[in-house]
Structure 1
Amino acid sequence: MAASSSSSSSLFLLLLLFVFVVSATSRHLGHSALHSYFRTHRTGLPPRSTYGPIKTNGRNYSFVCDSRRFADLGLRVTDFAYCNKNLSYEQRVKSLVGSLSLEEKVGQISDQARGVQRIGLPPYSWWSEALHGVSYVGHATYFGDIVPAATSFPTVIVSAASFNESLWKSIGQVVSTEARAMHNLGHAGLTFWSPNINVVRDPRWGRILETPGEDPFLVGKYAANFVRGLQDVEGHEVAANPDSRPLKVSSCCKHYAAYDVDNWFGIDRYHFDARVAAQDMVETFLLPFEMCVKEGDVSSVMCSYNRVNGIPACADPKLLSQTLRDDWKLHGYIVSDCDSLEVMHHGHKWLGDTPEAAVSQTLRAGLDLDCGDYYSNFTESAVAQGIVRESYIDTALKNLFTVLMRLGFFDGMPKYESLAEDDICTKDNIELAADAARQGIVLLKNDHNILPLCKDKYKKLALVGPHTNATEAMIGNYEGTPCRYVSPLDAFSAEGKVEYDLGCTVWCWEKEAHQRAKEIAARADATIIFAGISLEVEAESRDRDDLFIPYSQSNFITQVTEASKGPVILVIFSAGGLDISSIARDNAKVSAILWAGYPGAEGGRAIADVVYGRYNPGGRLPITWFESEYTKLLPMTSMPLRPIDELGYPGRTYKFFDGQTVYPFGYGLSYTQFNYTLKSVPSSVVVKLEPLQLCLPLTYKPNASLEEEHAGAACQSVNVADTACNHEINFEVEVANTGKFDGNHVVIVYSKPPAGVAGAPIKQVAAFRRVFVPAGASSSVKFSIDACKSLSIVEKTAYKVLPRGQHTIVVGDDEPTVSFPVKVDFN
């Protein structure tokens, strides 16, 4: 017994040592050493050639219609027309659907499709995620054996803060390359339910970290670029028949639509009915999805849990079949958020439906795929009851199988078949993740130009606060296993002499731990406080009650600030805005504030690069940071964007709120200064109308002079959808860097509608561009914006109209800012 016990102890110690070495390696080794380590230590694993996404009778294959695979099943591939490459996808899919019995059809319309062995159709798991890197969320993806990790990018809200379309597309391209490699190795599917493109309507929402912000145009541009990065196969970006355009992987824009309440004082997404005016629906909630479909050519859209004006989103034919397919021409499939049909049945209790009736409602509305088990459990009985036509199932299968055809699931895609473990966690991929974090960091305060920090002057640093040694906290949710972590402590320790102490966790209940943090701050040349919130405070299914940093942590920050001998730099981790007015923004002892969001696995390195000036911050806030008092003025469940005067509710987002903020949308400082000079500015746009074209009235504010001026016009506005508008507003902005640091600068262009139009936005983003300008140099940025798209507004009738009158183009926020008028008239 003693010998056995000793042996067990030794094995246990060796196991602990192995875990420690792997953990230390993944956190501290460079990329090449990390990859070498896993290559060397994959002992006992079979060679890569034995891995594959499709397992058949103990063997692995790369695609369905492999003749050897059919032979393994005792079948001949030539007997099945769906494997005949000489036929069109449409013909092949028709043959495949037609060869299935009702029971077999039903087995393919849930997220874990069962397959049909008798015809060689394998099972397929539809659910993978890739919000900011391949995630382990979903049935189809896992990490382990030959794929221990994947590149972890910053959360979406941080990448959005870069205002850089090419970056978003590049991230998508890297993620899809790693996803394809994982698929080849049997570790992932080909259908990834990302990105989340819900607009941030309320600052309390728990899922802000997953989204690109509060402006629907910005969100739509992010969606289109990220989706293109994920899906596009080089040389096949467009096709005469979009249903045959090949896909690198399939992307999915979610959650459609008006979804942005998770769990607020007991009101949750499984029961919430979003009461949305048609005006807000068109202007805010649908626009990003329209751009995702029309500009991104996304191959999937996911409907949400909530009801919209009484109807569950996944059962609304107007939202699904009419809008997505008929109006926007979606080429792909529509999937439910997971267990949405059960939510519809048990949560919403909509129409007192039976499970079969819920299946009937969603299939008729145009829902192709059920992430859940209602389709698989209740569709056959729904057909037997006569409330579901089998043709509805055929249509769903056509949409699903066509996407799989485009992905090469049936035929393979040689362009990507060589991708493997060496294409995951590459040096370039990790560097892009670090660069994305650098580009998204926002400088909120920099008194006396304390940043960039001078190493010669501030040799001894105190690092304190709950995120000082952040690892998992940096990567947010819908995350994968990262290639490595570089925490703030790792990064700053490599720079010079540091003392550190967390002081407390995010909730900061450990008051006895504050003392050491104050002591090291008191003897350091400078103090960096890594503070903020985490997924313990804001997350899926967890909305916030207020906009403050947890009270005890605020006290901790104040105490450390007061105790510090040298300047204090506050680094904020959060997705949503925080009211840090008193503890930091207006506190003279806090010299600088950086917002890092949740910056991904390379976050510590990115923060250090910014602090020491190796990178000049150029990020801008993609959301408004409201004062906490704002949340007392209106409930989270009030959906209108415009102010509700009779209830005293303020407007939402920068487009409709004109009060005091902590920091406004688009805010962000630099280590240098920029000036704008306008060039080649247009003065008017004249739109020629057709002889029988209808004009639409505008709603004006109660102002007699304005009302008379505009009411007298023969045509106050035109419906953009009925107007042949090909007018471009072309102008040029010279951006001059007048400071001492090279820097990236985001130029944001807004349009402002004619004065006096009731309910119009204060301003709205029309374009943006990120540009690099060396110190002392200038760069000319040319803009060409579509007059009908960029100057249009959505009237309360929900028509998107181009108003007659004087519009204003504003370039920039606060300083620098320039503007010019553009008069719109109709001929």
Structure 2
Amino acid sequence: MKKARRCIPLVGLVLLICFPGILAAQQTAGGKTTDLTDGASKKDDYRHYPMWNTSLPIEQRVNDLVSRLTLEEKVGQMLNAAPAIVRLGIPAYDWWNETLHGVARTPYHVTSYPQAIGMAATWDTAALYQMADYSATEGRAVHNKATSTGRNNERYMGLTYWTPNINIFRDPRWGRGQETYGEDPYLTAKLGAAFVRGLQGDDPKYLKAAACAKHFAVHSGPEPSRHADNFTPSAHDLWDTYLPAFHELIVNARVAGVMCAYNALNSQPCCANDLLMNDILRHQWKFDGYVTSDCWAIDDFFKYHKTHKDATSAAVDAIIHGTDVECGTSVYYSLVDAVKKGLLTEQQLDVSVKRLFTIRYRLGMFDPASQVKYAQTPESVLESPEHVAHALKMARESIVLLQNRDQLLPLSRTIRKIAVIGPNADNKIAVLGNYNGTPSHVVTLLEGIKKKLGPDAEVIYEKAVNYTNDTLLAYRDIAPLLSFNGEQGVQAQYYNNEKLSGEPVKSLIEKDIDHYWAEGQTPVPGLGTIHYSARYTTLLSAPKSETMNFEIEGDDGYRLYINDKMIVDAWQRNRWGARQFLLPVKKDSTYKIVIEFYQNEGNAGIRLKAGDRVKTDFTALAEKLKGVDAIIFAGGISPQLEGEEMPVQVPGFNGGDRTSIMLPQVQTELLQALQRGGKPVVFVMMTGSAIACPWENENIPAILNAWYGGQEAGTAIADVLFGDYNPSGRLPVTFYQSDKDLPAFGDYSMQGRTYRYFNGKALYPFGYGLSYSRFNYSQLNIPENTAQGTPLAVKAIVTNTGDRDGDEVVQLYVSHPGIAGAPVKALKGFRRVHLQRGETKALSFRLTPEELSLINEKGIAYQPKGKITISIGGRQPGTDHQSTSNVVSKTILIH
């Protein structure tokens, strides 16, 4: 006993120094914390167990840990929010985190890179690797800071990131396509693998962070029906299109995790699918990492798919198929009874629990910080200069010059008066995309142009239109009209639940009701980052008699009361939902306004604004702008319209998806009016997906596609507009002419889809993009014939024949003429190269037998004999679009 008493303080000191992540990890409930060491020394000196011995192999330590868990404890560890196990010193951990294009949803300022589809437009694997490495660095800093403040068990504080999204963007109407790397399996695979390697690091023992390939598999909309959809692609399409990127990440890049999809495949939910989970993933590909369900996907088994009778049968089947973590709230709790009833053995649970703890050990969560180099990453790396510089680099590289008639661009820096018009001209939400973090500063296009031209230039800004209509609310400042108990402002009460129940965590007076919190942020100290609510109470004093126009908008549920009468009831989840209402008021009268609001998960916001609804006069606007030197119209769409399962229902959009790929008509009408004014017009299009703009292509001299460019978007666009950067982005998706080019959205056959199987003429083809320079390809050198099963060497020369330095994206395509079912052409190599004006570089590619193969109707790869055509250039072969580079091709014989 004396020895024990003498050693405990010493061991405690060692743990405090060497295991700060363990001791700082706490069980939280309602804001209260529990020290994990409480009672541990009295009941069980866990510190001497093999699970804590850093000299032992991870497998042995994991086996020891799992052997000490009760059935109930094992099940608890299979939830995304795994609770602490105090008696063993195991801290609580939440598996749910995101870093799609920079660390997302944390309460700290982080670097935000272009949205994934924009990064895909760079065709730059090295830049994507670096971006992922920087994101993991910032993620480590966030985790370390959370650990030091006792918040490391909260959502979005962990090191298991549920990204990248490598689903194939097969249809431009899918709202989540912006999260992907485009429509091509080869490009997606190479970019995704670069991301995984950058994020996970190169340490021989520890993961820098854990990536997760999602959504496995055959998943790309529609959003409104995703919980119940059942898809039955052919074996050819499954192996030719939907699985190659997953194979690359799982087999070659060694991704740590996989997320199974909501939908069913061949009538079995993906998270309990014989073919996907047992045969392909675990048997054929030998995947030994962890699998998480998509969030609440296991519930879908019995709620929507109707393939299982209840939660227990769903949970059992998911475990049998290797789904280790339930992202959700309830279903896996039933596993305790399932084991007790003999529906499942405890040893089957052990398989999953061991996979999960193996990942946590590989992340260094059970080792001294001094042994894990990543655990020492300081907070100072957040938004470091090199990270912000890389965000600018990737934003520049992502911009695609679609049209430049008569070389209107670049614009002259001597411009003294310019107009910046449109709904995306000064929209920070648009440039950040979705699944985003919150940087300390976001450069919009308006700000970027103002900085570029300096204080001597006049920059006129008009929003002019919304995305789909021409009637704006000209806002008034109503803050001076609001008061509570004689004090100007609004009483705000914040609650740590969604039901406004109990005592508020904080009550204070705020200026007005105009709030936005990115996911992971909290309105006031002491409030959780999810599942909170608020009540705002104020008196509005009317300065005159009138009918006031109001607009209330909330990202989740809200209710509005005026004089204790409910006016708006949007308590059901209502992300980005806005309501307008009229309020007749009399001079010197007061009106009690109460708004109740709750946040479920994700971004949050609540706004009450007033103003006058004004229809924009396009002719008058064009007349007003007659004195400018040029007009920049910043239009397109926004993540406020396209995204994940959104309750958006406006013309052209539904549930987060698009019902039409056409540029909203109101924007075309405005561009027509601006063009009639006779001034040069540049269309800067922001979007996460392909937009059909045939009128603009024929009539607007210069068009840039800028995607959702991240925190440095405005600077990058201005750099391209004024020639400080030579545009080099290339399209990772096909821009079709119209909706008529698209098969049915819910049809997962690849026939007629993407450049590989589309036989029509695209508005802008996959791989397309112009430059301010010109590039010439020559001296294509390939053997006249080669044998099956042997690699093929391909060489060529590229020269910058223009008068500007610039980057060229070299693209290599293979086609198999005359073979039924083969792609029209398929990308099999690419490289971004920098060429000074007049410079020539030699290119060399090595095509493997796999890259020269096709997939037959049974889903089996084979290399056919006969003629194949190899093409190299700065674009696809066989297209007659204007271009700043050529294509060279050669047909050879495979024998």
Partners of 1:521 and 1:627 in 2: CA distance: 31
Q: In the comparison of the two structures, how many residue pairs are matched?
A: 696
Distance across 1 between alignment mates of 2:159 and 2:685? 36
Say whether residues 1:641 and 2:741 are aligned partners.
no
Query: 1-side partners of 2:263 and 2:332: how far apart?
Result: 22
SS in 2 for 1:662: coil
* Match 1:594 to one of 691, 697, 704: 704
Of 136, 140, 148, the match for 1:176: 136
3-state SS, counterpart of residue 24 of structure 2? strand
Give the C-alpha shift of residue 480 in structure 1: 1.1
Are 1:343 and 2:312 counterparts? Answer: no
Query: CA separation of 1:330/1:685 partners in 2, compared to 1, >3 Å: closer, same or farther?
Result: same
1:438 maps to 2:396: yes
* Partner of residue 697 from structure 2, selected from 567, 572, 585: 585
8 Å contact kept, 2:735–2:763: yes
Aligned pair in 2 of structure 1 residues 520, 729: CA closer, same or farther (>3 Å)?
farther
**Contact map agreement 1:152 1:483 (CA 8 A) in 2:** no
Which residue of the partner structure matches residue 556 of structure 1?
A: 670
Are the structure 2 counterparts of residues 608 and 508 from structure 1 closer, same or farther at C-alpha, using a change threshold of 3 Å? same
Task: Output the CA distance in 1 between the equivalents of 2:278 and 2:200.
Answer: 23
Gaps of 5+ in 1: 1-47, 60-65, 137-141, 237-244, 643-650, 688-724
**1:150 maps to 2:129:** no
List aligned pairs for 1:113-132, cutoff 5 A.
113-132=82-101
The answer to whether the Cα contact below 8 Å between 2:22 and 2:89 also exists between their aligned partners in 1 is: no
Cross-structure match for 2:839: 777
**Helix, strand or coil for the counterpart of 1:789?**
coil
1:383-782 mapped onto 2 (5 Å cutoff): 383-411=339-367, 412=369, 413-456=371-414, 458-496=415-453, 497=457, 498-510=459-471, 512-515=615-618, 517-541=621-645, 542-563=656-677, 565-582=678-695, 584-587=696-699, 590-630=700-740, 634-642=743-751, 651-687=752-788, 725=789, 727-753=790-816, 755-782=817-844
Structural mapping, 1:359-370, within 5 Å:
359-370=315-326
- Do the aligned partners of residues 448 and 56 (structure 1) sit closer, same or farther apart at CA in structure 2, a change above 3 Å counting? closer
- Cα distance between partner residues in 1 of 2:342 and 2:43: 37
Conserved? CA contact 1:447–1:591, under 8 Å:
yes
Name the structure with the higher helix share: 1
Asked if structure 1 preserves the Cα contact closer than 8 Å seen for 2:428 and 2:444, the reply is yes
Partner of 1:715: none
Distance 1:70 1:518, change over 3 A: farther
Q: Which residue of 2 aligns with 1:712?
A: none
The answer to whether structure 1 residue 200 and structure 2 residue 195 are counterparts is: no
Question: Partner residue of 2:265?
Answer: 308
Per-residue CA deviation, residues 446-491 of structure 1 (Å, 9 max, x unaligned), is 01111111122x3311111111112121011101111311111111
Moved more, 284-293 or 179-188: 179-188
Deviations 1:61-84 (A, max 9, x none): xxxxx9999978875344311111
* SS of corresponding position for 2:658: coil
CA 1:618–1:607 in structure 2 vs 1: closer, same or farther (change >3 Å)? Answer: same
Residue 520 of structure 1, CA deviation: 4.1
* CA shift for structure 1 position 683: 2.0
Which residue is equivalent to 2:247?
290
Alignment CA distance shift 1:669-1:656 (3 Å)? same
Q: Distance in 1 between the 2:173 and 2:378 partners?
A: 41
Deviations 1:641-679 (A, max 9, x none): 12xxxxxxxx10000001021111111000011000135
Q: 2:283 aligns with which of 313, 320, 326?
A: 326
Q: 1:358 aligns with which of 280, 293, 314?
A: 314
- Matched letter for residue 667 of structure 2: Q
Given the superposition, is the C-alpha separation of residues 378 and 766 from structure 1 closer, same or farther in structure 2, using an over 3 Å criterion? same
The CA distance in 1 between the partners of 2:772 and 2:39, in whole Å, is 63
Q: Mark the runs of 5 or more structure 2 residues left unpaired by the alignment.
A: 1-16, 29-34, 147-151, 472-613, 646-655, 880-884
Matched, 1:803 2:803: no
Give the whole-Å Cα distance in 2 for the aligned partners of 1:330 and 1:232.
Answer: 19
CA shift in 2, pair 1:492/1:808, >3 Å:
same
State the AA in 2 paired with 1:663.
Y
Q: State the Cα deviation string for residues 743-794 of structure 1 (Å, max 9, x = none).
A: 10001100011x32111110101000000000111111211121x1111111
Relative to structure 1, is the Cα distance of residues 365 and 57 closer, same or farther in structure 2, using a 3 angstrom cutoff? closer
Contact 2:213–2:246, Cα closer than 8 Å, also in 1: yes
Maintained 8 Å contact 2:27/2:83: no
1:226-237 → structure 2 map (5 Å cutoff): 226-234=195-203, 236=204
Contact in 1 for aligned 2:426/2:445 (Cα 8 Å): yes
Do the aligned partners of 1:443 and 1:595 also contact (CA within 8 Å) in 2? Answer: yes
Letter in 2 for 1:607: I
1:608 is paired with a residue of what secondary structure?
helix
Change (3 A) 1:49 1:132: farther
The alpha carbon displacement at 1:818 in A equals 0.4
Indicate the SS of the match to 2:452.
Answer: coil
Shift of the 354–68 alpha-carbon distance from structure 1 to 2, 3 Å rule, reads closer
CA distance in 1, matches of 2:49, 2:90: 10
Deviates more, 1:489-498 or 1:90-99: 489-498
Matched to 2:93, the amino acid is Y
Q: CA RMSD in A?
A: 2.2
Q: Distance in 2 between matches of 1:612 and 1:486?
A: 16
Letter in structure 2 aligned against 1:761: P
CA distance in 2, matches of 1:486, 1:226: 25
Q: Please give the alpha-carbon distance, in whole angstroms, between the structure 2 residues aligned to 1:528 and 1:222.
A: 32
The separation in 2 between residues aligned to 1:250 and 1:792, in whole angstroms, is 32
Aligned residue for 2:210, secondary structure, equals coil
- Alignment of 1:818 with 2:888, yes or no, is yes
Q: CA deviation at 1:359?
A: 0.8
Aligned partner of 2:404: which letter? N
The 1:375–1:346 alpha-carbon spacing in structure 2 relative to 1, beyond 3 Å, is closer
User: Residue 470 of structure 2 contacts residue 616 of structure 2 at CA under 8 Å; is this kept in 1?
Assistant: no
Post-superposition offset of 1:517? 4.0
CA spacing shift, 1:199–1:70, aligned 2, 3 Å: farther
Per-residue deviation, 1:88: 1.3
Query: Which SS does the other structure have where 2:616 is aligned?
Result: helix
TM-score of the superposed pair, with normalisation by structure 1 = 0.81
Given that 1:468 and 1:502 are in contact with CA atoms closer than 8 Å, whether structure 2 keeps it comes out as: yes
Structure 2 CA distance, aligned partners of 1:552 and 1:465? Answer: 11
Cα distance in 2, alignment partners of residues 53 and 444 from structure 1: 53
CA contact (8 A) 2:104 2:438 kept: yes
**1:383 alignment partner AA:** V
- 1:280 deviates by 0.6
Q: Relative to 1, partners in 2 of residues 1:176 and 1:73: Cα closer, same or farther, differing over 3 Å? A: farther
Deviations 1:232-258 (A, max 9, x none): 234x3xxxxxxxx42100000100100
Q: Which has the higher strand share?
A: 2
Letter in 2 for 1:677: S
The normalised TM-score by structure 2 is 0.75
**Contact in 2 for aligned 1:620/1:668 (Cα 8 Å):** yes
Q: Offset at 1:543?
A: 1.2
Q: Residue 769 of structure 2 aligns to which amino acid in structure 1?
A: G
Cα offset for 1:353? Answer: 2.0
How much identity, in percent, do the aligned residues show?
A: 35
Q: CA 1:531 to 1:58, structure 2 compared with 1: closer, same or farther past 3 Å?
A: closer
